[in-house]
Structure 1
Amino acid sequence: SANYSSTMGSQGPARSVATSGDLSVGNSKSFSFDELYEITGGFSRDKLLGEGGFGCVFKGTLGDGREVAVKQLKGGGGQGEREFQAEVEIISRVHHRHLVSLVGYCISEDHRLLVYDFVANDTMHHNLHGRGRPVMDWPTRVKIAAGSARGLAYLHEDCHPRIIHRDIKSSNILLDDNFEAQVADFGLARLAENDVTHVSTRVMGTFG
């Protein structure tokens, strides 16, 4: 099951973040590429949890038995590298029970990887639309919606500077053993300026 000890009950001010180029931020750990290669079975298809435009996510188990999800971004810099830097900086500065917990990261030549706590019950999208999944009852749906809203409200209102997700969708909401929501994937997040009171109307995120 997922480990939420680093996020539960902590909703205070966002911690400071290291400047660009120094990614040893928050409680995130620096992993070597070899470590992550080993725990994912060489990024085996058998360990694949999902894939998208950013790259692939693999399941792994650390030496202490902790289950993690390793996000391997598409290499070669460009958008993948910027997305990586945005995620590390943003997630390392926030801690909330309804936001995905970042365990660590890896920078190795062209490789950019993020390591998260593994969240046991997949995504909201999978639970709503996956083949053979039971119909989700309304109390559970309301709980997930409320948890997601609390996580987003923390990002949008309580972080300093504020953080705008800009790509919220059912596949970016992970569910733990108790079907509590964990908002994930801050790859398109941008920091809102402190003196800006309205969210930009420019189209962002994923179509469809």
Structure 2
Amino acid sequence: MTRRLVLFSTLCLAASCEGDLIGKTGDTGAGNCPTPFTGPILIVEAGITCDDANTVTFTATTDGLTSGGLIFSQETGNAEPQWADEHDLESIDWDENCGSYDNLARTLTTGAGVNDWQVNQSTVFRCDDDGAGNPYHHNADVMSYAFRVYDFDNVMADCIIGGDDPTGMVNGTYNRVNDPVNPGELASCDVGVLAY
């Protein structure tokens, strides 16, 4: 694993929705663009935002267009067995003309029961505190995250990990309840710095 500087923040605001998701094909429409994007797809910003006590939004901004992504979350700073869940990141805004950027997001309801959580809708992890000022999950330093994005051939183009113990999460150091899709992909992730 290598380290690279990526804005990986719990303070990033969700992007506004623009564009027509159905029309996104990876074709940059080069006729309307003097310099179409030809570089590698890279995550340049990733964020986790507790919008309020009941919702969390994950965001990722890339250089280049993607076919989507995944966010994997694990409570590596808590006792085992640890809860982990994974959700899709969907494009909400992108450069239709030159293909230079893609903004992806997923908003979830927080605090679902372990038998009630649903992929792409809710998570067991919470944004509120215990009433005594002690934060739970997304606003505490007990979480590790992996953001992955894919090209239009559905091949992982980039991955960034960060948080409490991202290396332990990738290496399977902890007994976790759920594994990520294609866990071997995480071995090629770069480590980012998570700012609280």
Q: Common fold, TM-score beyond 0.5? A: no
TM-score norm. by structure 1 comes to 0.28
Higher helix share: 1
